[in-house]
Structure 1
């Protein structure tokens, strides 16, 4: 679901969560703290996280789609 205010999804989550045993989710690239507190973060905080995970580009969210 996309936000009407942005051209990005409301959350970086792609449903491939790995924050139980890892500090950083392999699916979206957020820390366990960021995942669990996402709904409480300001738009500026969310944007900073989006910027960081996009720049890092290591999460599965940013992997090229495979056919």
Structure 2
């Protein structure tokens, strides 16, 4: 399981933050509270959030256009 954590960046942020206007960031899929407190979460809390936003897959981070730019 720890190998999975090293396969992804520490933060889901992709620099397209919308938490000033939205409760859920359109860029990464985290709530405003999760974005604000990310540095205080332990690895288990971060993993739960990563799993949720990945499963939901609605944030720009998980859209084909963004994923293609990362290759």
Q: Which residue of 1 aligns with 2:30?
A: 30
| 2:19 maps to 1:13 | no
> TM-score with structure 2 length normalisation?
0.84
Question: TM-score, normalization: structure 1?
Answer: 0.88
Cα-Cα RMSD:
1.4
- SS of the residue corresponding to residue 8 of structure 1 reads coil
Higher helix share: 2
| Count of paired positions | 63
Q: Which runs of 5+ in 2 are unaligned?
A: none
Q: How big is the shift at 1:25? A: 0.0
Where do 4+ consecutive residues of structure 1 move more than 6 Å? Answer: none
CA distance in 1, matches of 2:27, 2:21: 13
